[in-house]
A and B are shown apart, each in its own frame.
Chain A
Amino acid sequence: MVKKKIGVIINPVAGMGGRVGLKGSDGAEILQRARKLGAKPEAATRSIEALKVVAEQEGQVEVLTYPGEMGADACRAAGLSVTVIGSICSGETTAEDTRRAANDMAAAGVDLILFAGGDGTARVLLDVVGLQVPVIGIPAGVKIHSAVYALSPRRAGEAATEFLQRDSVKTREVEVMDIDEDAFRKGEVNARLYGYLSVPDTRRYLQSVKTGGIRSEQATLKGMVEALIQDMEKDCYYIIGPGTTTRAIMEGLDLDNTLLGVDVVRNFELIANDVSENQLLEIVGGGRAKIVVTAIGGQGHILGRGNHQLSPGLIRKVGKENLIVFATKEKLASLSGRPLLVDTGDQQLNAELSGYVKVMTGKRDFVVSKVGF
């Protein structure tokens, strides 16, 4: 078997805007704000998790990567020996560096690019390599709408390994989507299709693009909202996560809402819109609270995608018995039997949240769904 060549690119700042409620990390100014708010880079940790799986194939694969935080550090930490190419100004990398890295790797003839980032990173890959080189995304960004990302870092590693082990692997073209971060911060969401990247055809590992709702869902949703509002407990904080499904609750209460942010309600009244992790911890204090989240259609994430404000600390404080998963059957069916997913960044909490959850799917109607990570 010919030794395969794989390129590793990490966007070191991906995901920094999430935990602090900024809904993205694209652009220098936002990044600065994120840092000021105390955001820490997470892309490296997530990449190592994926790369450890690839490292099990050591000796059968040649790894090319960029220096320092753009790949070399994480590869070494995962136990991979690498060939480092290119150069960067450590601590000041931008999208331009990702662009050069992708370009250099394509020129070096890699068989696959394994990259870590979010939708912004996927768009850079799209510009540079297009359909020439298959890619696999390690989910590390705030916005993960593109189907190029694996369900979790581990799954990205498994998909890469499968690709490396086989002589010929079929590829398929998947959508690269992104939403306008500025509009997103204003509460408007319109995911735009930017183009297609080629990924190994291992459907189970990769995310399907978030599916839009269908007509009949609207009627179901109305009933679900009514039932949830009817059951709202007095003096209890309801932390309403992002998404169109949960937005319907706010609309049902006739309150302002943030489509992609977290809102808080108590006794049918608005407490705050678009809050960060710290604000949530402050608001809830020692009071009773429930967190309402929905599943991302086609992907199944209930925590860790687009709702990083619901941090491990907050979830522990509220208690997992107070997590209400709110999704239509259509959305659950779009998972094709795959479990709901939690990716809180805290492995122990992920494990605690795993098992089964009774998802509210209609008025007096529930579906028992498996939760994994």
Chain B
Amino acid sequence: MARNPQTLLRDYHAARWDEEMIMDLGEPGERGVKVPVAESEITSRVGDASSLVPTQLLRRTPPALPEVSQPRVNKHYTRLSQETMGSNVGNDIGQGTCTMKYNPVSQLHVATRHPGMTELHPLQDESTLQGILEMYYKLQEMLKETSGMDAVSLQSCGGGQAIYANASVVRAYHESRGDHQRDEVITTLLSHPANAAAPATAGYKVVTLMPTESGIPDMDALKAALSERTAAVFITNPEDTGVFNGDIDKLVQAAHDVGALCVYDMANANGLLGITRAREAGFDLCHYNAHKTFSTPHGSMGPALGAQCVTKELEPFLPKPIVCFDGERYSLKYDCPHSIGKIRSFIGNASLVCMAYTWIMNHGADGLREVAEVSVINNNYLYEKLKDIPGLTVYFAEGRRRLEQIRYSWDPLFAETGVGSDHIRARMVDYGVQSFFASHHVGRHEEEPLADQIVSEAMTPEPCESFSKDDIDEYAAVMAQISKEAYETPELVKTAPHNSSIHNVPIPFMEDIVTQAGTWRLYKKAKNLD
């Protein structure tokens, strides 16, 4: 039914296909693509393709693959996306820190359909890869411009990998100077958790600073933590609160004063593009998540693209290969004696480089700044719509303007009605709006499945530049409605969802590795199908 023009609420009900597993679909012999028989001229020269594979590597039994036609595949995935309110179906303002922007279909087509991309092979000779190398090089140049840094590597295939690679560059730098005692990394509790996790994985001790009331890190705590053992400070700005730390340059200076480097997590730079740069604050390294800021889709655990940006001094340590241009030709440089080495097969995720390049080219420099401005305006507009909703509050830095996102808390609502963040997440889908992201800093326990350690009953929406005023108004209307329901009929919210494809799934069930089989083989085993 159409949306009510007064309340902006929809009388929504999710499609309920109860769709089968793809392995249960199709008939024996059903095919999506018929692979053409090799031409006789080819077979006469190279023989039968299977004879090229060593016998010990050949399967004895054919793999269990689904046998389905193209229309059936199309219906299958469309139905799944309807049942799960896929990204092209519902309003996903709620996925804060993820920057769920629109990924133009045209750029997806260029990267994944255009023969210039689809017919490339990474083992081709460099001379035949000039087009894609040009995109790499030019994207590097653009990110140098947006970050202010001197050198860029597009080898990391995710934000976490880029931070890990940055931690490796930090180590290589200190070791190149004979400075072997630096074994600590400092970060803040409300920075993206990968800023603690990736350096820890790279072998560093991690020292975390707690947030202050103002939402920004305490400089005195930082000074107390800094020492000759500090290798680097890894920090996000703004942190998850959305409060921009105007003293970031002082923080960087304090770290430099003890010989430490500073690494800026700009994974989500949506509120910063064209306005402020890592370089001006004095940072030595930074990274972008192209799948957030530069609109290459979030791929559900990949593929992704993390762009590392560093100063001239740190350039020799970047991962190899380096994409170079001599004024005429583009080339891949592998002879980099100080490099941290190779971190990805071939040259990384070329299709995502193509998408990020296309997106930036479509926007131009002015367009990038407009992206940031509209994101910030959207976010503050949403705040104005949400701030008077009963039961909702914002901790840290009361009254201060935020950039692209805000971490809200439903604490008062929970205290007064027993309806918490989790219940609201489940109720939202009844109005055709995607559940929101609570927080990175979530701990789980039995009574309250999602209890945030820092901001309880958290909610982090991020209405980036892709959302219209109408989208934001609808989102706020849904929130106001659920708050009203929580005070008037709390049970209605606590028992949600009511109009979804399936009912609420308890977390212990979701975490049960036996019932939640990740592969067809495990599924058959769990269901005793063999």
- Asked whether B208 lies within 8 Å of A214 as measured between CB atoms, the reply is no
Hey, which chain A residues are within 8 Å of B444, CB to CB? 215-216
Contact status A366-B206, CB under 8 Å: yes
Q: Chain A residues near B218 (CB, 8 Å)?
A: 370
Stretch binding the partner chain, chosen from B22-30, B104-112, B220-228, B420-428: B220-228
Instruction: Select the stretch in A25-33, A173-181, A329-337 that faces chain B.
Output: A329-337
**A365 in complex: contacting residue of B200, B211, B225, B445, CB < 8 Å:** B200
Q: Nearest CB to that of A329 among chain B residues?
A: B453
Q: Does A358 contact B (CB under 8 A)?
A: yes
A356 interface neighbour in B204, B211, B220, B453, Cβ under 8 Å: B220
- A337 and B224 CA atoms in complex are apart in Å by 17
The reply to whether A214 and B206 contact each other, CB–CB distance below 8 Å, is no
Given contacts A356-B220, A356-B221, contact A366 B211 (CB under 8 A): no
Q: Is A337's CB under 8 angstroms from B210's CB? A: yes
- A358 and B207 in contact (CB under 8 A), knowing A214-B445, A330-B443? yes
A366 touches B207 (CB 8 A): yes
Interface centre among B209, B220, B221 (most CB of A within 10 A): B221
For the complex, give the distance between the alpha carbons of A370 and B219 in Å: 12
Contacts of B204 in A (CB 8 A): 364
Q: Which residues of B contact A364 (CB under 8 A)?
A: 200, 204-206
Nearest CB of A to B299, in Å: 29
Q: How far is the CB of A326 from chain B (nearest CB, A)?
A: 15
Q: Which of A321-348 touch B at CB < 8 Å?
A: 329-330, 332-333, 337
CB of A333 within 8 A of CB of B453, answer yes
A244 at the interface (CB under 8 A from B): no
A-facing residues in B191-216 (Cβ within 8 Å): 196, 200, 204-213
- Complex Cα distance A346/B118, Å? 74
A369 to B207, CA, bound (A): 10
- CB-contact partner of A332 in B206, B210, B212, B443, under 8 A: B210
B445 touches A215 (CB 8 A): yes
CB distance from B213 to the nearest CB of A (A): 6
**Nearest B residue to A333 by beta-carbon distance?**
B453
Total count of chain A residues near the partner, CB < 8 A? 19
Whether B212 lies near A337 (C-beta < 8 A) is yes
Q: A214-B445, A215-B445, A333-B454 are in contact. Are A365 and B206 (CB under 8 A)?
A: yes
Q: B398 in the interface, Cβ–Cβ < 8 Å? A: no
Alpha-carbon separation in the docked complex, A369 to B188 (Å): 12
| Bound CA span A54–B210, Å | 33
Closest to B217 in A: A368
* A330: chain B residues within 8 A (beta carbon): 443, 453
Whether, in the assembled complex, B446 has its beta carbon less than 8 Å from a beta carbon of chain A, the answer is yes
Distance between A314 CB and nearest chain B CB, rounded to angstroms: 24
Q: Are A337 and B453 in contact (CB under 8 A)?
A: no
Contact (Cβ within 8 A) B445 A355: no
A292 to B476, CA, bound (A): 50
A330-B453, A355-B224 known; A337 and B211 CB under 8 Å?
Answer: yes
- Inter-subunit contact B224/A366 (CB<8 Å): no
- The distance in angstroms between the C-alpha atoms of A214 and B453, with both chains bound, is 11
For the complex formed, measure the closest distance between the CB of A170 and the CB atoms of chain B, giving whole angstroms.
13
Smallest CB–CB gap between A340 and chain B, Å?
10
From B196, B225, B454, contact of A358 by CB (8 A): B225
Distance between Cα atoms of A329 and B218 in the complex (Å): 17
B224 with A368: CB separation less than 8 A: yes
Q: Are A366 and B205 in contact (CB under 8 A)?
A: yes
**Is A208 in contact with chain B by the CB < 8 A criterion?**
no
Interface residues of B in 216-248 (CB under 8 A from A): 218, 220-222, 224-225
Q: Assess the A367–B443 pair: CB atoms within 8 A.
A: no
Residue among A333, A364, A367, A368 having the largest count of chain B Cβ atoms under 10 Å: A368
B196 to chain A: closest residue by CB:
A365
B205 adjacent to A365 (CB under 8 Å): yes
Instruction: Say yes or no: is A146 at the interface (Cβ < 8 Å to chain B).
Output: no
Closest to A361 in B: B208
- A residues near B446, Cβ cutoff 8 Å: 215
The CA of A369 and the CA of B224, in the complex, are separated in Å by 10
0 or 1 for each of A350-373: is its CB under 8 Å from B? (1 = yes): 000001101001001111111000
For the complex with contacts A216-B445, A365-B200, 14 further pairs of A-B residues with Cβ separation under 8 Å are A329-B208, A330-B453, A337-B213, A356-B221, A358-B207, A358-B225, A364-B206, A365-B206, A366-B206, A367-B207, A367-B208, A367-B209, A368-B210, A370-B210
6 A-B pairs whose Cβ atoms sit less than 8 Å apart in the complex? A216-B443, A332-B210, A364-B204, A364-B205, A366-B208, A369-B210
List residues of B whose CB falls within 8 A of some A CB. Answer: 189, 196, 200, 204-213, 218, 220-222, 224-225, 443-446, 453-454
**What are the nearest 10 A-B pairs in CB distance?**
A356-B224, A333-B453, A364-B205, A366-B207, A214-B445, A368-B221, A368-B225, A367-B208, A365-B206, A368-B209
